[in-house]
Amino acid sequence: MNLEGHGALVTGCGHGLGKAIAERLALDGARVYGADIDLNEVGEVEREFRDQGLSFFGETLDVVDGSH
């Protein structure tokens, strides 16, 4: 699938299924904005993906906490 020119927001991207989805979207050309509650995990994913030349921007986010 060609996702060049498209963006995607993936929550829970620090590991597991969220990470796999983020990687697949990025490999297909999307600019991926990834969020995870764990800053260390999302940072590791960001470094890993960027080392592969993928477009990925990570940020911490707690989708359950409505106070932000």
Q: What is the pLDDT of residues 25-67, one digit of tens each?
A: 999 999 999 999 999 999 999 999 999 999 999 999 988 877 7
Q: What is the pLDDT of residues 8-24, one digit of tens each?
A: 999 999 999 999 999 99
Separation in Å, CA 39 to CA 3, 28, 46, 61, 63: 27, 25, 10, 9, 14
Tokens coding 45: 């994913």
Q: Determine contact, residues 6/31, Cβ cutoff 8 Å.
A: yes
Residue reference for tokens 């796999």: 20
Predicted structure pTM score: 0.89
Q: Is 40 exposed, middle or buried (0-12, 13-18, 19+ CB in 10 A)?
A: exposed
